[in-house]
Chain A
Amino acid sequence: MKPAILTDVTKCVGCEACVWACKEINELPTIVPRTRLSAETWTVVEKRHGLNVRRQCMHCLEPACASVCPVGALRKTAEGPVVYDASKCIGCRYCMIGCPFKIPKYDWNTPLPTVKKCILCFEKRLAKGLQPACTAACPSGATIFGDRDALIAEARERIRAHPERYIDHVYGLEEAGGTSVLYLSSMPFAALGFNTEAQSSPYPALTWAVLSKLPNVVSVGGVLLLGFWWLTKRKEVLEKVRNGETTLEEARRENPHLFGETTLEEARRENPHLFGETK
């Protein structure tokens, strides 16, 4: 089973049970505005054109945040959730730049800040065989937990059964190469503040296309530079010989790595068949 969440925007009544359940399980401060995601609010119900839109981490199948993290503090677990190890984090905030959904948030007002985002209740509930706090608390069935494939089938079935109710798109099916959190809506997702420009292939491939070439850059570049060094150094030494600053023998003795093992005369004597009769 690939754990996933399906949020049906048309069914949400805006009671914020998910928000409070999230705060309860993660022990987050309760006296803060809940208009958007923040370090203190990991899931939020946004009011958009009369609809209640619950936002949270999308738990990408191939998350950009985990790929960009220099120390592997963010990690995609084998079970599915994208989790965070605060003890590794150095606070570079590259995850915030990399995430196409603008999910990771930061503790801006403490001297020792960490990144904050939904971790799908990985340790506190999933590991114990429980569903995440938010879906468990939802009284209207607007946000449900289950196997990703089953939820995709369910979403398609709802669209088929009520084409007048839904726009024909399951958000998260292909966005960013697929996410574990899926959405159904009656309105275009762009109007609800979703990133509709998100590419359908995984984001980490973008930087990997560059990074994977670096070993070649190093090896080819290293050989080229050494080659240039050898050629120009030899030219420089020969120039000195030509100017009479030193003799060939001396240069040869001082820079054995720039010249061959034998002299031309020797080579000629040993391999007469390779050279002409005359000089």
Chain B
Amino acid sequence: MNTQLKTWIKGWLSHLTFWRTVAITIFVLGLYATVVRFAQGLGAATNLSDEFPWGLWIGFDVLVGVGLAAGGFVLAATVHVFHLERYKPIARPTILTAFLGYMLVVVALMFDLGLPYRIWHPLVMWNPHSVMFEVAWCVMLYTAVLALEFSPLVFERFGWVKPLRIVRAVFVPLVIVGVLLSTLHQSSLGTLYVIASDKLHGLWYTPLLPVFFFISAIAGGLAMTIFESFMSRRAFGRRLETELLDGLARAAVVVLALYTLLKVEDLMGRGVLGLVFTVTPESTMFWGEMALGAILPMILFAIPQVRRNETGMFLAAVLTVVGFIVNRLNVAITGMAASSGVLYIPSWMEFTVTIAIFTAGFVLFGLAVEHLAIYPVEELPEPITTRDRTVPLYLGGTLPKGVLIPLWALFAVGALLVASSIRNADAEARIRQQSEVATAPTAQPDEAAPELKLPAPFAFAPAEESPGVVTFDHRSHVDAGAPECAACHRNLFSLLEPGKPLEGDLSYERVHEGDLCYSCHNGDEASAVDDACESCHK
């Protein structure tokens, strides 16, 4: 028995590669965070607050997650609507990524929604004026469309001919509906912020947010498809579809150029171009997003030598994806920071849940590739060359070091700038607050305190042995200059139903030793009740 157990553990441990250990650690931490989130509420697990109600889970898991899955509708349209059939080999993995992406977005929403078990409410409780309502419907319908677009793979796997024929028959309308739904909700994620005109920083706030979200989703989706191809080669030993990636890269150039042009025009049109050239945390992040995440990859993708170069291609794709992520986080977090008045930094549990959800995506993708015909079968994996194995792509690969070193240096400088400007902004805000207090005109104290409208004096019906009638008068109990209603009205007497606690018996004990007059007139807070009868009984 003991030896059996030992062999079992040994066998299990031998399967425990480095990345599996990492994944298991992430899932264990994620599980802990999940328990805290659902047992104790959002406050215990996140750094969200009344000032900052939307954080990493909305900014990254939802905005980035949905955006990077845009490759799904872009390639579905390319292959099935525009009949560019040569892109077919990469359409399936992209649609799979999109499907998994949307499923995981829904999982993330279950974490972020306060009452996740009511996620179906928008189905039956309608408010067509709400962007969120529209997003909810579109995401739900599109996830269904993606499931159907993806379903042939499952039907093929199990040899179910009839459902396969049905899905094939409606495939084109299905794709068109999917493209329309994607257009709607990709843009609507931007529209969500159109109502936050006083809150979102001028570098990102524009009535054109839906247009920018849509265009950048296409760019992000294209870049993500290129990135995934590299990842698939690494993980599954797949051949790179170099010619196809070249086509995607050229499309990305056009999309990124259009985005940049519109962005400049929009900033000029709103007269806020100056914000770009003032050094603030916002402008630093904006430059990071635009220069490194849009303009630089656009230039790289435009150069044929770079497109022919694997490292160049990979780098440009990564830059675009990172630029896209930074853009969404800028809208959701950087741009909302100043108006919120607080510095929101996600809690470790927020990070953990996000990372765990993405890890789950990787694992599910791997399982799908293993069990379903994601990649055309006739293709045999190209043997991985020694060069690929020894020189990691991200450290240089085939691109000359002369290009890479300045690039990484640029990243480092950018990171430093962001870090320092955040601290500066903090200090600035503090100074601004202090000077505001100092320079603000002080209110003129009123010549005389306003006369308070107080209830009329109330005479208690005297008990039999009472030495005289007691009359309660607010005026002798209230300091007109600094009234403290709460002293008596907090627990003792109702503010809204006068006389309520005086119902029932007004015994000697209750008045003189109990919860009425005595609760203040106890010799401590006010003169004791038994000092002088005639001061009250008159």
Contact = CB atoms under 8 A, between A and B. Distances in A.
Contact of B127 (A13, A70, A107, A187): A70
A25 B496 contact: yes
Given A13-B452, A69-B130, A97 B196 contact: yes
B114 A197 contact: no
Given A49-B442, A88-B121, A68 B40 contact: no
A209 B194 CA distance: 10
Nearest to B483: A15
Contacts of A178: none
Interface stretch (A153-161, A232-240, A260-268, A271-279): A232-240
A203 B197 contact: yes
Nearest to A88: B125
A211 B134 contact: yes
Contact of B446 (A10, A25, A106, A207): A10
Contact of B442 (A15, A50, A140): A50
A97 B53 contact: yes
A4 B194 CA distance: 28
A136 to B, nearest CB: 6
Contact of A109 (B44, B446, B454): B44
B443 A50 contact: yes
B43 A72 contact: no
A69 B130 CA distance: 6
A262 to B, nearest CB: 25
Contacts of A247: none
Contacts of A106: 42, 50, 53, 114
B176 A20 contact: no
Contacts of B119: 90
A221 interface: yes
A12 to B, nearest CB: 9
Contacts of B179: 221, 225
Chain B, interface residues (CB within 8 Å), range = 35 or more
Count chain A CB atoms within 10 A of each CB in B41, B54, B129, B172 and give the residue with the most: B129
A252 interface: no
B138 to A, nearest CB: 10
A14 B483 CA distance: 7
A91 B483 contact: no
Interface in A9-47: 10-11, 13-17, 19-21, 24-25, 30, 37-39
Count chain B CB atoms within 10 A of each CB in A38, A91, A112, A197 and give the residue with the most: A91
B513 to A, nearest CB: 25
A229 B77 CA distance: 9
Interface string B233-248: 0000000000000000
A106 B83 CA distance: 50
A68 B131 contact: yes
Contacts of A210: 131, 187-188, 191, 194, 207, 210
A111 interface: yes
A11 B195 contact: no
Nearest to A164: B444
Nearest to A8: B450
B488 to A, nearest CB: 10
Contacts of B83: 229, 232-233, 235-236
Contact of B445 (A19, A50, A96, A137): A50
Contact of A137 (B38, B80, B125, B485): B485
B485 A15 contact: yes
A89 interface: yes
Interface stretch (B100-108, B383-391, B433-441): B433-441
Interface of B: 38-44, 48-51, 53-54, 77, 80-83, 85, 112-116, 118-119, 121-122, 125-136, 172, 176, 179-180, 183-184, 187-188, 191-199, 207, 210, 436-437, 440-446, 449-450, 452-454, 478, 480-486, 489-491, 494-496
Given A17-B486, A90-B121, A222-B180, 11 more contacts: A13-B450, A16-B486, A21-B496, A37-B50, A71-B127, A92-B114, A97-B54, A225-B180, A229-B80, A232-B81, A232-B82
24 contacts: A15-B482, A17-B485, A21-B496, A30-B490, A37-B50, A49-B442, A70-B132, A70-B136, A73-B125, A89-B114, A91-B116, A108-B48, A109-B40, A136-B496, A139-B453, A139-B454, A139-B483, A195-B198, A209-B207, A210-B194, A210-B207, A229-B82, A232-B83, A236-B83
